[in-house]
C-alpha cells in the first residue's frame, strides 16, 4: 500500500471519529469496500467505481440510488440524507405504496431517453409493461416466458422493439415453433431502477397471473452490485412493511432503522449482498415450482469494462451452480469491442444502445446454440423429439 493511500485512509478514519460515528458499526462495510477495490480506486486518477456507477445509472436509474455522486467513503462520513420517492420521482412511474415501491404507469407514453443522437418514447401497455399487450389468459400451444429485470432489460437507450428481448422473441418464433408450441411470448416485466428484491416481487405479483411457463430473471450489474439494498432503504424510509421475514430479520440483525442515514445502511448491509441474492433465487425457485414453471437466470452486462464487470458479479455464477439454477452468461458480450462507445448510449452512460442490444442478443443466441440443455430449458422443446436448428 502506498504512503499516499495510507494517508487518505488515516484521514478518513479521523473524520469518522470527529463526526462521532460508531466506527465499529462502519468497520464491516469499510472492509467490504476495501475488498471491492478501494485501494485501486484511491490510486486511480480517473473516475472511481462509485462515480462510474452513478454516471451509468443516469436519470432513469436515479431512484433508490440516492442521486449520489459521492464516493463510498465520503458517503460514510458526510451523507446523512434519508431519500424519499419525491427526491427522484420518474415521469413514467408511480408509487405503489406497497413492497414493490413503484411501477410503470399503464397505457402511458413518456420521454424515455435523450442524448445528442437519440430520443425515444417509452410506451407502456395496459399492464404497465414496456411491451405489446398480451392477454391475461395464455393461448393454447403457447410457451410464455416472464422476463424480469431493470432498465437494461427493459430497453432504455434502444428504440421500441429494438432490445435484446424483442430480438429473442422474434428468433424463437421464426425458428423453434413445433406442433406442440405454436408461438412464444416473452412478456417484459422489467422496470428501470428495480433491485434484486423488486425482481422477486414483480415475479410473484406482476408475472404470475399471466401463467408463465418460465421465469427468466435478468441480473445486471445495475441491480445486484453495491446498490442492491436501495429498495430496502426506501421501504424503511417510507414506513412500508418489508413483507418477507428474511428481510425483517436482515434489518433487525444489522440494527438498521428508518432514522439511520443512507451511509450507515450502506455500511451495515455491505456483507449481505450475496446471501440476499441467494435468498431471492431460492424464493423464485420455490415460487416457480409451486406454479408448475421453471426458473432461468441470464447475466446481462452493461457496456462496462470487462474486469469491472467480473468484480460486480463475483460469486454469482458459483452461487447459481450450487442452487442448481440454469443460467446464461452474457458478461463477455462486449469484450471484443475496440470502441465501447459504439455500443453504449453515451460516454457517461453504460446502458447499451440499439447496437449494444443487438450484440447482447447475438451472444445470448450463441450461448443457446452452444448448450442444448439451455436451449431446451428456454424453449420447452426436446432436442430428441424435434429437429431443432
Q: Is residue 75 part of a domain?
A: no
Q: Are residues 304 and 350 in contact, defined by beta-carbon separation less than 8 angstroms? A: yes
**The residue to which cell 428456454 is assigned:** 378
Integer Cα distance of 363 and 128 in angstroms? 28
**Number of Cβ within a 10 Å radius of residue 43:** 13
Q: Is residue 386 part of a domain?
A: no
Q: Is residue 117 part of a domain?
A: yes
- What pLDDT does residue 74 have? 43
- Per-block mean pLDDT, blocks of 10 residues, the chain (389 long): 49 51 50 44 42 41 36 45 60 91 91 62 89 94 97 89 95 93 96 94 97 97 82 94 97 94 89 95 98 97 87 93 97 89 86 94 96 95 61
What's the pTM?
0.80
Query: Contacts by 174-180 with C-beta closer than 8 Å and gap 24+?
Result: 175/389, 176/379, 176/381, 176/388, 176/389, 178/381, 178/386, 180/141, 180/381
Q: Which domain, by its residues, includes 288?
A: 91-230+271-379
Measured in residues, the chain has a length of 389
Report in angstroms the alpha-carbon separations of 322 from 27, 217, 280, 327.
30, 17, 14, 12
CATH number at residue 203: 3.40.50.1110
**The residue to which cell 441467494 is assigned:** 278
Query: Contacts by 379-386 with C-beta closer than 8 Å and gap 24+?
Result: 379/143, 379/172, 379/176, 379/181, 379/184, 380/143, 380/181, 380/213, 380/214, 381/176, 381/178, 381/180, 381/181, 386/178
Report in angstroms the alpha-carbon separations of 108 from 156, 179, 298, 311.
16, 37, 28, 37
Report in angstroms the alpha-carbon separations of 294 from 215, 297, 325, 374.
6, 10, 9, 12
Integer Cα distance of 59 and 242 in angstroms? 26
- What pLDDT does residue 20 have? 52
**CA end-to-end span of the chain:** 54
**The residue to which cell 393461448 is assigned:** 139
Q: Is residue 312 part of a domain?
A: yes
Q: Which of 234, 196, 244 is nearest to 217 (CA)?
A: 196
Q: Is residue 50 part of a domain?
A: no
What is the side-by-side strand order in the sheet with 142-148? 183-188, 142-148, 214-220, 294-300, 326-329
Q: Is residue 259 part of a domain?
A: no
- What pLDDT does residue 33 have? 44
- Report how many domains make up the chain: 1
Integer Cα distance of 82 and 199 in angstroms? 23
- What pLDDT does residue 308 have? 85
Amino acid at each position: 500500500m502506498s504512503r499516499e493511500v495510507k494517508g487518505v485512509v488515516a484521514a478518513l478514519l479521523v473524520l469518522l471519529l470527529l463526526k462521532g460515528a460508531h466506527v465499529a458499526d462502519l468497520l464491516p462495510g469499510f472492509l467490504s469496500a476495501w475488498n471491492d477495490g478501494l485501494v485501486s480506486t484511491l490510486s486511480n486518477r480517473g473516475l472511481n467505481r462509485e462515480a462510474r456507477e452513478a454516471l451509468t445509472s443516469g436519470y432513469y436509474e436515479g431512484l433508490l440510488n440516492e442521486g449520489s455522486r459521492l464516493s463510498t467513503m465520503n458517503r460514510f462520513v458526510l451523507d446523512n440524507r434519508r431519500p424519499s420517492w419525491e427526491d427522484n420521482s420518474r415521469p413514467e412511474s408511480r408509487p405503489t405504496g406497497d413492497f414493490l415501491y413503484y411501477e410503470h404507469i399503464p397505457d402511458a407514453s413518456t420521454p424515455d431517453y435523450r442524448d445528442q443522437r437519440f430520443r425515444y418514447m417509452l410506451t407502456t401497455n395496459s399492464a404497465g409493461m414496456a411491451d405489446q399487450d398480451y392477454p391475461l389468459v395464455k393461448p393454447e400451444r403457447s410457451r410464455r416466458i416472464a422476463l424480469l429485470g431493470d432498465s437494461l432489460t427493459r430497453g432504455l437507450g434502444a428504440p421500441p422493439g429494438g432490445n435484446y428481448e424483442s430480438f429473442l422473441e422474434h428468433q424463437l418464433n421464426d425458428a423453434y415453433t413445433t406442433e406442440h408450441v405454436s408461438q412464444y411470448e416473452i412478456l417484459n416485466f422489467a422496470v428501470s431502477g428495480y433491485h434484486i428484491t423488486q425482481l422477486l416481487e414483480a415475479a410473484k405479483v406482476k408475472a404470475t397471473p399471466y401463467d408463465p411457463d418460465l421465469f427468466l430473471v435478468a441480473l445486471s450489474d445495475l441491480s445486484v452490485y453495491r446498490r442492491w439494498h436501495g429498495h430496502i432503504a426506501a421501504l424503511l424510509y417510507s414506513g412500508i412493511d418489508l413483507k418477507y421475514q428474511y428481510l425483517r430479520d436482515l434489518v433487525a440483525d444489522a440494527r438498521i432503522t428508518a432514522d439511520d442515514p443512507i451511509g450507515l445502511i450502506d455500511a451495515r448491509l455491505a456483507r449481505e449482498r450475496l446471501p440476499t441474492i441467494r435468498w431471492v433465487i431460492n424464493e423464485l425457485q420455490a415460487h416457480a415450482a409451486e406454479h408448475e414453471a421453471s426458473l432461468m437466470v441470464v447475466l446481462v452486462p452493461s457496456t462496462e469494462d470487462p474486469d469491472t464487470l467480473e468484480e460486480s458479479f463475483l460469486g454469482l455464477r458459483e452461487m447459481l451452480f450450487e442452487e442448481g439454477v440454469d443460467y446464461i452468461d452474457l458478461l463477455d458480450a462486449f469484450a471484443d469491442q475496440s470502441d465501447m462507445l459504439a455500443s453504449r448510449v453515451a460516454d457517461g452512460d453504460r446502458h447499451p444502445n440499439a447496437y449494444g442490444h443487438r450484440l447482447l442478443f447475438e451472444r445470448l443466441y450463441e450461448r443457446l446454440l452452444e448448450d442444448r440443455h439451455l436451449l431446451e430449458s428456454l424453449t420447452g422443446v426436446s432436442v430428441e423429439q424435434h429437429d431443432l436448428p
